[in-house]
Homo-oligomer: A and B are copies of this chain.
């Protein structure tokens, strides 16, 4: 098994995707929101790239069963039902609902890797379940941190490293790591005893604190509180 991590959120070459499982990771906060919302009974999540696209798409569904969620530059979007904090996506609000979600980095990442053999939604919430699913798939892996506005994101790399750690401790066959996957694993080991420390060092973590979303940092650092792995297929997460 070969595990690579793409440190920067550029669309990978299609030849890198066609026979691989891709895990999209956006800890602060898109994939944390997605995993949490699905665990609370959301019916499905449609990630879209822009606010305009979200409003357009919402018109095609019954309003009573559809919620608009997300953020733009870490801020609330006028006319949306929910922001981008997983804590908002409780069963009372999302159970049985279709969510249309748009965020700065995370929702774009799914479209960048849409030609992969399988696309999973990863986070600290479901890291062991995701590792298990990767092992069952038996494909080579590309971990795809959605990054920070086109750049490298420390907290996403640390989560990728934790996923690698879970996999190499369980896998029966040899695992080949690349320069980036070795590095992500080392970054995880550095923060293993205190994951949220990485969030407070990261640019995006600091920005969330500055904008009053500081409570989301320890919340999104919770490990293995959810035992499901949402899958992105044909534009929809289920």
A residues within 8 Å of B by Cβ?
7-8, 148, 151-154, 157, 177-180, 182-183, 186-187, 189-190, 201-203
Contact = CB atoms under 8 A, between A and B. Distances in A.
Copies of this chain present: 2
Contacts of A178: 203
Contacts of A189: 190
A5 to B, nearest CB: 9
Contacts of A148: 179
If over half of A's interface residues share one DSSP class (helix, strand or loop), that class is named, otherwise mixed; here it is helix
Closest 5 CB pairs of A and B: A154-B179, A186-B190, A152-B180, A179-B202, A182-B201
A157 B180 CA distance: 10
Nearest to A151: B179
Contacts of A177: 201
A203 B179 contact: yes
Given A7-B152, A179-B201, A187-B187, 6 more contacts: A7-B8, A152-B183, A179-B203, A183-B183, A186-B190, A189-B190
A183 B153 CA distance: 10
Contacts of A153: 179
Nearest to A179: B154
Contacts of A187: 183, 186-187
A91 to B, nearest CB: 34
A186 B197 CA distance: 13
